[in-house]
Amino acid sequence: MSIKVAKSARELLLKEYRGVLSTHSKAMPGFPFGSVVPYCLDEQGQPLILISRIAQHTHNLQKDPKCSLLVGERGAEDVQAVGRLTYLAEAQKLEAAEAIEAAAERYYRYFPDSQNYHKAHDFDFWVLKPIRHRYIGGFGAIHWIDQLTLANPFAGKAEVSMVEHMNADHAKAIAHYVELAGLPKTAPAQLAGIDSEGMHLRIGQGLYWLPFQTPCNTPTQVREALVFLAHAEHWPKNEVADA
Q: Check pLDDT > 80 for residue 241.
A: no
Q: Are residues 15 and 98 in the same domain?
A: yes
Least confident stretch, 12-21, 98-107, 115-124: 115-124
> Domain total for the chain?
2
Domain assignment present for 233: yes
> Considering the chain, what is the average pLDDT of its residues?
91
User: For position 106, what pLDDT does the model report?
Assistant: 95
Q: N- to C-terminal Cα distance for the chain?
A: 25
Residue 66: what are its φ and ψ, rounded to 5°? Answer: -70, 130
Q: Are residues 37 and 114 in the same domain?
A: yes
Domain assignment present for 150: no
Taking residues 6-27, report their average pLDDT: 95
Question: DSSP alpha helices (H): ranges in the chain?
Answer: 3-15, 56-63, 97-110, 114-120, 157-169, 171-181, 219-230
Domain range enclosing 207: 157-242
Residues of the chain above pLDDT 70, percent: 94
Domain assignment present for 163: yes
The DSSP secondary-structure symbol of 112 reads: T
Q: What is the CATH number of the domain that holds 26?
A: 2.30.110.10
User: Under a CB-based contact definition with an 8 Å cutoff, are residues 91 and 68 in contact?
Assistant: no
Q: Are residues 177 and 200 in the same domain?
A: yes
Condensed to tens digits (0 to 9), the pLDDT of residues 179-225 reads 999 999 999 999 999 999 999 999 999 999 999 999 999 999 999 99
Q: Which residues pair with 52 in a beta bridge?
A: 123
User: For position 243, what pLDDT does the model report?
Assistant: 46
Q: Are residues 32 and 97 in the same domain?
A: yes
User: For position 137, what pLDDT does the model report?
Assistant: 83
Q: Are residues 121 and 168 in the same domain?
A: no
Q: Which residues pair with 130 in a beta bridge?
A: 89
Q: What contacts 52, CB < 8 A, 6 or more positions away?
A: 58, 121, 122, 123
Domain assignment present for 152: no
Residue 67: what are its φ and ψ, rounded to 5°? Answer: -160, 180
Least confident stretch, 92-96, 134-138, 182-186: 134-138
Domain assignment present for 226: yes
Give the largest Cα separation in the chain, rounded: 57
Domain assignment present for 97: yes
User: For position 75, what pLDDT does the model report?
Assistant: 72
Confidence class for position 237, pLDDT limits 50, 70, 90 = low
Domain assignment present for 136: yes
The DSSP secondary-structure symbol of 156 reads: T
User: For position 1, what pLDDT does the model report?
Assistant: 53
Q: Are residues 174 and 232 in the same domain?
A: yes
Among 116, 145, 174, the domain-final residue is 145
Condensed to tens digits (0 to 9), the pLDDT of residues 27-75 reads 999 999 999 999 999 999 999 999 999 999 999 999 999 999 999 987 7
Confidence class for position 79, pLDDT limits 50, 70, 90 = confident
